[in-house]
Amino acid sequence: MKDILEEMDKQIMETRDKKRFRYKKKYPMKIVSLFGEVKINRTYYRDRETGKYVYLLDRYLDYQGERHFSPLVEAAAIDLAVKGPSYRKASEALETLLGYPVMSHEAIRQLLMEVSSVPTPRLSVPRPVLFVEVDGLYVKRQGKKKKGKEEKIAAVHQGWETNGKRVRLKNKRHFIHDGKQPFWEAFEDFLVDTYEYDPTIHKLVINGDGAHWITACREHFKGRAFFCIDRFHVARDIRSICRHHPRYRQMTKALASYDGQRLLTKLNSAVGTLETEEQEERLEHLISQLEKYPEALGDYRQWLQEQGINTDGMRPMGSAEATMRVFAKRLKNGRSWVDKGVRAMSTGLVACLDHLSLKTPFGQVEARMDSKQEDIRTRSYMKKIARTMNETTRDNLMYLKGKANIPVYQALKGLRGF
């Protein structure tokens, strides 16, 4: 690696614009890479146009060498910090992976605090509808007497695609509210920036629980959106309140058939027949909530059909809880945060989930491809490596030209493709 980088530096020096970049001298530098510490000498120049001093090798590699970490080390550290349980575990895993101490847990934390997502081209929206799953996640804050805050999160997708028995969401993207403007105003700005979204054309199907900030979508979007009350939360509440009630099965059937009026009738019929006062209060609260928007218990596909939109291939909403589990796994479980730390970790989580590149002050962490693409690319690389190894070892290892039954020959053959 040292020879490759120094040869690149030499080629850049010979082909540079000599009228603009004046050679000064060579300086030694240490790079912490996935292959260990690499020491190289790189050339320093003065830019006559700007008056500044630059390393053209760094510019060519899109790398800033102040911290001496290679982009791959930064990428590995961020990936481990986001997907793992803690910054400390990420530091230990990186040391185990590379065989020597690389970055402390505090260095990884500071690195993640400074990242930002790299803007991407807007996604086209072939169908005139987008699907939105919204929920809140309560996250503790550090400091005495500091109350936790609810992180407001939305997941947007363009529908479902099936591959055998597996179903995945198309072009899924995540939005986390930063609190600077009303949620739905900020969310619509996000839609415009992320998708080729036209509020005069596209309809929204929004699924969430009965929190006030979620149901405010009905007032913000009016006839441009259909609000679905999250059926997971409704079914959970009915089960916890009326599980032993004689009409419990009729309630669940009404919910499953999208019959909101029938469900409300069955719930009202249970008032005054429950075992405890607490159950009665909870039932009255649930009925009061559902009566505010009975249409939210209906089937959104019927509403879309009334708008002249084909609903073939559309499925019931309800992936909000799965989205929350991903964020909760890293942000909750007894942890407490400062506001900036939550924002940084959320940025990393969104980049990981949406396959976005991250910009750090000293380079760029490229987006990870999804598992299917990665598997194809990995097989391609392994084939190339095998071909390269065959060409390199052909007629260069004398033992492979000898007898096939000796131990050395068998050992070398066993390393084939390694």
Strand partners for 132: 156, 206
**Residue 324 pLDDT:** 87
Residue with tokens 């009016």: 222
Q: Is 336 helix (H, G, I), strand (E, B) or coil?
A: strand
**pLDDT beneath 70, residues of the chain:** 1, 62-67, 361-418
Question: How high is the pLDDT of residue 71?
Answer: 74
Per-residue pLDDT at 401: 60
Q: pLDDT by residue (tens digit) across 253-273?
A: 999 999 999 999 999 999 999
Q: What is the pTM (predicted TM-score) of this model?
A: 0.76
Q: Which two tokens stand for residue 137?
A: 């996640």
CA separation for the pair 66, 74 (Å, rounded): 13
Nearest to 78 by CA among 384, 345, 316: 345
Closest CA to 287 of 377, 194, 210: 210
| Secondary structure class of 161 (helix, strand, coil) | strand
pLDDT digits (tens, 9 = 90+) for 43-92: 889 899 998 888 888 777 766 655 577 777 888 889 999 998 999 999 99
Burial class of residue 81, CB neighbours in 10 A (0-12, 13-18, 19+): buried
- What is the DSSP code string of 120-147? -PPBP--SSEEEEEEEEEEEEESSTTPP
Residue 72: predicted pLDDT: 78
Amino acid of residue 214: I
What angle is formed at CA 355 by the lines to CA 349 and CA 358, rounded to 5 degrees?
A: 70
102 burial via Cβ count (<10 Å: 0-12, 13-18, 19+): buried
C-beta separation of 205 from 132 below 8 A: yes
pLDDT for position 405: 64
* d(C-alpha 15, C-alpha 100), whole Å: 37
Cα distance between residue 57 and residue 66, in whole Å: 13
Q: Answer yes or no: are the C-beta atoms of 360 and 127 closer than 8 Å.
A: no
Distance separating the N- and C-terminal Cα atoms of the chain: 20
- Which are the contacts of 412, defined by CB distance < 8 A and separation ≥ 6? 397, 399, 400
Structure tokens at 104: 């402390």
pLDDT of residue 143: 84
What is the biggest distance separating any 2 CA atoms in the chain, rounded to whole angstroms?
92
Q: Which residue has the tokens 């996000």?
A: 190
Residue 355: half-sphere exposure toward Cβ, Cα within 13 Å: 9
Instruction: For the chain, give every domain's residue range.
Output: 2-61, 129-354, 371-414
Query: Cα–Cα distances in Å, from 244 out to 282, 299, 403?
Result: 15, 27, 79
pLDDT at residue 64, rounded to an integer: 63
**Residue 327, token pair as written in the block:** 């964020």
**188, 171 contact by CB (below 8 A):** no
One-letter-per-residue 3-state SS of 277-288: HHHHHHHHHHHH
Strands 358-360 and 149-157: unpaired
Separation between Cα atoms, residue 189 and residue 208, nearest integer Å: 20
d(CA 229, CA 211): 10
